[in-house]
């Protein structure tokens, strides 16, 4: 049973949001799944949904690869709802039963078709190791090009974010749906390797200047530059897919500028994601910002080390632990969920969960494309030994 009342009819929302409800319900005939939780934050619901609409209607990633990546992501996050929703779509897209069985049961992928095996290795390395080996990355880049690979990475990050919402709020599939067997994600902590440092240069060319863009896409470039002073970091990579970049920008702007989350909480959660995802770029950008917003240097150092949280205040400890459980265990303890719900309220807990998911997308892209921080930026230390 879900941890909150799911928003599924107009009776569940205030009248001023009826038009938004109708708009979102018209896309798929009803409100269900992650949308039934995200609608607790009406200001987030529309931009959040835009990313899915682009991916499902206009992505250059062919459905058979996209749905395979989604199913593999659902498996990695032990997300029964997404598995049940996308398994039929995966079959319609032509994914082999052998590949789906390998995903479901954690079986070997060596005997699969090369294209299916390549996508599965990409998902596994990105979500388990936070890095992609050259012998996995390079064949996909040669075969499909930068835009395709950027979009595939966002497919994976996006469904990781959706799994975070569904798992945190315990939205479950229908009893008669295809059930996902319990997997290793129910164990805490989940063993994984330390992420290595990024390569010296990004694997695809960042787009940082207007002259690199087609005339018709300059509006997206200018929108990013206007809000941030320049186009850099994850947006310089997403600029290979301008409409997708626009949708991700809208979510970022909502969470950064329109949310009632305190800047301190937002930065605390962001650096916690950077640590768990071993992302030096996001760490370098946000650790100084966290201190500027009032996060004590000792708290930043504790998060950087990956150590225990006993020295943190109760409120800080809960936020960092929420990030850790969501990204590593893929579940959240009931007591922790209730404390944050009572402290923040459901709408802001939804936005906190979405923020974690958003930076999951950002770190996935930066890590996969090997975007390093600027020379001299604050480094992300190696974790303290267990």
Q: Where are the domains of the chain?
A: 61-185, 259-368
- 259-368 has the same fold as 61-185: yes
> Under CATH, which architecture does the 259-368 domain have?
Up-down Bundle (1.20)
The predicted structure's pLDDT at residue 188? 34
On the question of pLDDT at 13 being above 50, the answer is: yes
- pLDDT category at 183 given cuts 50, 70, 90 is low
**Three-state SS for 174?**
coil
Q: Which two tokens stand for residue 150?
A: 């950027």
CA dihedral 51, 360, 291, 333 (to 10 degrees): 110
- pLDDT category at 189 given cuts 50, 70, 90 is very low
CB 242 within 8 A of CB 213: yes
Q: Which two tokens stand for residue 351?
A: 């936005």
Q: What is the reported pTM?
A: 0.96
Please say whether the dihedral angle defined by the alpha carbons of residues 18, 23, 24 and 29, taken in this order, is positive or negative: positive
In tens, the pLDDT along 31-52 reads: 999 999 999 999 999 999 999 9
At the topology level, CATH places domain 61-185 in AhpD-like (1.20.1290)
């Amino acid at each position: 049973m879900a941890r909150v009342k799911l928003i599924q009819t107009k009776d569940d929302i205030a009248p001023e949001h009826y038009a938004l409800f109708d708009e979102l319900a018209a896309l798929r005939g009803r409100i269900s799944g992650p949308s039934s939780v995200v609608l607790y934050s009406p200001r987030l619901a529309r931009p959040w949904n835009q990313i899915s609409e682009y991916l499902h209607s206009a992505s250059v990633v062919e459905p058979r690869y996209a749905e395979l990546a989604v199913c593999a992501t659902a498996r990695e996050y032990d997300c029964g709802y997404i598995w049940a929703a996308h398994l039929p779509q995966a079959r319609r897209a032509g994914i082999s039963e052998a590949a789906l069985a390998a995903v479901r049961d954690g079986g070997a992928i060596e005997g699969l078709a090369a294209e299916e095996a390549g996508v599965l290795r990409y998902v596994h390395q990105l979500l388990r190791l936070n890095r992609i080996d050259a012998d996995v990355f390079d064949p996909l880049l040669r075969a499909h090009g930068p835009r395709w690979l950027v979009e595939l990475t966002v497919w994976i990050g996006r469904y990781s974010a959706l799994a975070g919402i569904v798992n945190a709020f315990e939205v479950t599939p229908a009893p008669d749906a295809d059930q996902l067997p319990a997997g290793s994600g129910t164990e805490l902590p989940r063993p994984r390797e330390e992420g290595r440092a990024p390569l010296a240069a990004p694997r695809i060319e960042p787009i940082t200047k207007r002259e690199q863009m087609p005339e018709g896409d300059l509006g997206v470039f200018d929108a990013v530059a206007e809000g941030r002073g320049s186009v850099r970091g994850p947006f310089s990579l997403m600029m290979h897919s301008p409409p997708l970049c626009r949708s991700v920008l809208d979510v970022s702007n909502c969470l950064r500028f329109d949310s009632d989350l305190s800047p301190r909480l937002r930065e605390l959660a962001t650096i916690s994601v950077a640590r768990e995802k071993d992302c030096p770029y996001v760490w370098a950008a946000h650790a100084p910002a966290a201190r500027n917003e009032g996060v004590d240097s000792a708290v930043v150092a504790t998060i950087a080390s990956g150590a225990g949280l006993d020295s943190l205040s109760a409120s800080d400890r809960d936020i960092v632990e929420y990030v850790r459980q969501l990204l590593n265990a893929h579940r959240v303890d009931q007591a922790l969920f209730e404390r944050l719900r009572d402290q923040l309220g459901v709408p802001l807990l939804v936005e906190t969960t979405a923020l974690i998911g958003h930076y999951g997308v950002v770190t996935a892209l930066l890590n996969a494309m090997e975007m390093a921080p600027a020379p001299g930026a604050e480094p992300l230390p190696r974790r303290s030994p267990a």
